[in-house]
A and B are shown apart, each in its own frame.
Chain A
Amino acid sequence: MIEVEEHTLGNGLRLVMAPDLTTPVTSVNLWYGVGSRNEAPGRTGFAHLFEHMMFQGSAHVPRNGHFQLIEEVGGSANATTWFDRTNYFETVPSHHLDLALWLESDRMGWMLPAMNGEKLENQRQVVMNERKERYDNQPYGDWDERIQALLFPETHPYHHSVIGTLEDIAAATLDDVRDFFSTYYLPNNAVLSICGDFDPDRARDRVEHYFGAIQPGPDPPPIPGIDQIPFSTGATLREDVPGAVPLPRVYAAARVPPFTTDLFYPGDVVAHCLGTGRTSRLYDRLVRRRLAKSASCHLLPLTSGASLFMVIATGFPDTDVNDLETAVTQELDNAVTLTEEAVERAVTGAETRMLRALQQVATRADLLSMYATHFGDAARLNDDLGRLRQVTLDEVRSWSRNHLNPGNRALVRYIPERSS
């Protein structure tokens, strides 16, 4: 049970605090309610490129000063961009909490004066290299792009990948940076979580001191496109990718109820039953029987209309991709036969794993920001394990029947090209 205190500043910034004096370490975590879903046509990848620009200095912080100042005091810092949000975080020795707050407030309030074309050009190159390293020069690297394009219609904000296309990254301008900042990087579109070793009264005062003067703005515009879509693709959609991959691999995805609905929880239990641990269905029936080298299952906590449920299975060099596909789809079809025993074991394992993750203040802060952003209630983190416990076998089976059938499926198959 994590004790959580929540406040909202006059400018709309939501503050979440969870003190824990075990180790003299404090984590500061900011979620901005903007991600790849908010990108305009022709600007895919921009939310992520913008995240890079946030490390290029602000009015009172020199270029690269953010990392330098944090590393000098023995802290760590980073940021990530995802579908629905962008997060920024620092974990520091606790007596340097003010430094982290000062740095985050400076770029929330005073980023634009430090921007220029040269910095944008530099980070454009860095991000294009990131895309090439992680997507284009990497076996299977572009799988998420393919799955998203297949599973979500062109009008849906999840149709395109977070990294974006090289063309769109290259097209970004300094005006885009300014507009994006003014539209989304607002105190009223952000959650600030502080976890670890600190005094909450003092921290609240310091947050008010550093962030209080930042002006709020209008609510961000609606997400482009149409996010409400049926949890069904209508058929099994497929794409085969022949190429320079060493092993056949199948990505099988389904469009399912989002994180913000009660129907997410049976899905989470199903994902654990299928893919987590050595007793899971996929391990037991695919890996143990040597139909696959490895297999896993994931349900992403996405919120915009629908979420993404996915199985990833990798074969052996001599595995026929059709056999691999059959093995995977059979387990999706057979999820309706999951047992009470499997559900019990999956929930027990999920509880212990969640506690393990919460040992790290950075993870705790990030999860609190997530619940505050998506539910307006950070303390919901405490209830969520209970929600998994309450899921019944009937719910698990009917969720599987409704969402994991062949009428709601996208398959991307990577097929090794045999050199003759």
Chain B
Amino acid sequence: MTDRGKPPPPGPIRPYEFPPVADERLGNGMRVRVVQKQPLGLVTAMVVLRAGETAAPAGREGLAVLAGDALEGGTTRLSSVELACRLEDIGASFGAATGWDSTTVAVSCLADNLVDALPLLAEMVRSPAFDQAEFDRYKAQRLATAAHRRMDPASLAADCHARSIYGDGDTYARPLGGTEASLGALEADHARQYAAARYGPARAAVVVVGDVESEEVRQLADREFGDWGEQSANPPEAVVAGREPGRSIHVVHRPGSVQSEIRVGHVGVSRFIEDYLPLTVVNLVLGGSFSSRLNLNLREHHGFTYGVRSTFAARRNRGPFVVSTAVENSVTAAAVREIFREVEALSESGPTADEVQTATSYLAGVFPLRMESTGQVASRIAGLIVFGLPVDYYRDYRDRIREVTREQAMAAARRHIRPRELCTVVVGDADAVAPGLEDLKIGPVTIHDLQD
């Protein structure tokens, strides 16, 4: 009979190499990066602009995001409808996405159609119309999204937590997509000015991943982007001053809530820290996987929640470190207590040797699983450009992950997790949860109205 008693041993390991990245520069400084990836005959082409929401001027929060949306709204030559027809006639999907540090515009289609799709992608980026009516349409959509965020408990908790850990003048204190007040004042002209100042070939790249020849792509890219003359100024970096550190609990009173949305954390790290990989391991152990300490405690041991996770947001300046979960009213204080317990224990003693072994093995093993599609690879390459990481960063990424030691992880945990500065936000029914939170004696409890 089969010996079922223990897990079967692995077979011989099969080699995996991140595909080579062809890296060139056009005469105007724009980078062209190409990765050949044959199966299924697909391609993703992505323009990466170092024009994120961080670069939106004061008082015009949300402008970068809205300008990105409006890139789909037509060019000086093609209306929004014509642009959509040309791309969708060849089965292409397209869209823009804006974060704090970049705007990316991407097209995915059959590789045979790249010759038609890339010129349209270039046209969207180089000659956006920012037609007032189209702009107003995207603006109305963003305004409605902002209204939605005010009533969605998870968004509300995230936005309130960012406001609580960052200083009033800090870039990351506000929601990425702007507020109803800031969005309301935006006009198409603002988008035109923003694009003129921030979209340009310097620091930008076109990334093409798929069933293509790199030399052909380079020529195509040169034809579409080589004469892009405008030079964009160096983008400003985010301002992060933080707040006076110290523990505090903010309850956003949402009468009748059947659950509490909980966020616990503090200002975290920038993507540029030297011990980013050890910290990635630490976060995986804390709340970055199913088998993490937080999830096994809150979900599998206590049954408090459907899930709990922790993240260090990777941004050019110090993004938030946040533990997030949703729990029933009656266990809200107990869940916060357990979160503090786990965060404190990890920052004090670091992960165990076994945990480091498991985490590094997980991160190294799961890496190729997340590199299957042309879009996934293109996004990774785009990330390298945004953070100024070397083009061959992923070639030995798995080796570097495996080399992380317990000592390095422990040092990263001590350096980057500061239990004395944990700020807690709870969106829930204050009548039901505030007394228990007071009893924790973690720090002062402040109750806010939903409208604050």
Contact = CB atoms under 8 A, between A and B. Distances in A.
Nearest to B299: A126
B438 to A, nearest CB: 23
- Interface size bucket, B side? 35 or more
A129 B328 contact: yes
A360 B89 contact: no
A2 to B, nearest CB: 10
A355 B41 contact: yes
Interface in B68-99: 72, 80-81, 84-85, 87-93
A345 B89 CA distance: 5
Interface string A101-119: 0110010001000000000
A121 B303 CA distance: 8
A352 B44 CA distance: 12
A237 interface: no
B88 A126 contact: no
B232 to A, nearest CB: 27
Nearest to B137: A290
B108 interface: yes
Contact of B10 (A96, A123, A317): A96
Contact of A352 (B92, B258, B305, B367): B92
Contacts of B257: 137
Nearest to A351: B91
B12 interface: yes
B6 to A, nearest CB: 7
B243 interface: no
Interface string A265-307: 0000000000001110000100110100110000000000000
A420 B40 CA distance: 57
Contact of B153 (A63, A137, A317): A137
Contacts of A315: 144
Contacts of B299: 126
Interface string B128-160: 000000000100110111011011110000000
Contacts of B151: 139, 244-246
B93 A352 contact: yes
A246 B150 contact: yes
B367 to A, nearest CB: 7
B361 interface: yes
Contacts of A92: 365
Contacts, number: 221
A290 B137 CA distance: 7
Interface stretch (A20-28, A80-88, A324-332): A20-28
A71 B289 contact: yes
A130 B366 CA distance: 26
B291 A197 contact: no
A271 to B, nearest CB: 15
A355 B230 CA distance: 37
B40 A246 contact: no
B304 interface: yes
A77 B369 CA distance: 12
B327 interface: yes
A171 interface: no
B41 A95 contact: no
A92 B14 CA distance: 12
Given A95-B14, A129-B259, A316-B144, A288 B80 contact: yes
A94 interface: yes
Contacts of B88: 277-279, 345, 348-349
Contacts of B238: none
Given A139-B152, A278-B88, A351-B91, A23 B371 contact: yes
A150 to B, nearest CB: 23
A360 B372 CA distance: 6
Interface in B356-374: 358, 361-369, 371-374
B326 A133 contact: yes
Interface string B298-340: 0111011110000000000000000000111000000000000
Q: Which of A23, A106, A361 has the most CB of B within 10 A?
A: A23
B8 A99 contact: yes
Which of B7, B42, B367 is packed against the most chain A CB atoms within 10 Å? Answer: B7
A97 interface: yes
B290 A67 contact: yes
Interface string A328-349: 0000000000000000010011
Contact of A99 (B1, B10, B140, B304): B10
Given A95-B11, A279-B85, A73 B91 contact: no
A169 to B, nearest CB: 12
B368 A25 contact: yes
B305 A277 contact: no
B442 interface: no
A279 B300 CA distance: 46
Interface string A342-380: 000100110111011011110000000000000000000
A190 to B, nearest CB: 18
B422 to A, nearest CB: 23
Given A74-B363, A129-B326, A293 B39 contact: no
B193 interface: no
A236 interface: no
Contacts of A98: 8-11
Task: For the complex of A and B, list the 7 residue pairs with the smallest distance between their C-beta atoms, beginning with the closest.
Answer: A74-B365, A125-B303, A278-B84, A352-B91, A24-B14, A130-B306, A98-B8
Given A133-B326, A352-B91, 20 more contacts: A24-B14, A64-B291, A67-B290, A71-B289, A76-B366, A98-B9, A98-B11, A106-B4, A126-B299, A129-B303, A129-B305, A134-B306, A139-B148, A244-B151, A246-B150, A287-B137, A317-B143, A355-B42, A356-B42, A359-B372
15 contacts: A22-B39, A23-B368, A24-B16, A59-B4, A60-B6, A72-B362, A76-B366, A96-B10, A126-B303, A129-B303, A210-B2, A288-B81, A345-B88, A348-B88, A356-B93
Interface of B: 1-2, 4-16, 38-42, 72, 80-81, 84-85, 87-93, 108-110, 137, 140-141, 143-145, 147-148, 150-153, 257-259, 261, 289-291, 296, 299-301, 303-306, 326-328, 358, 361-369, 371-375
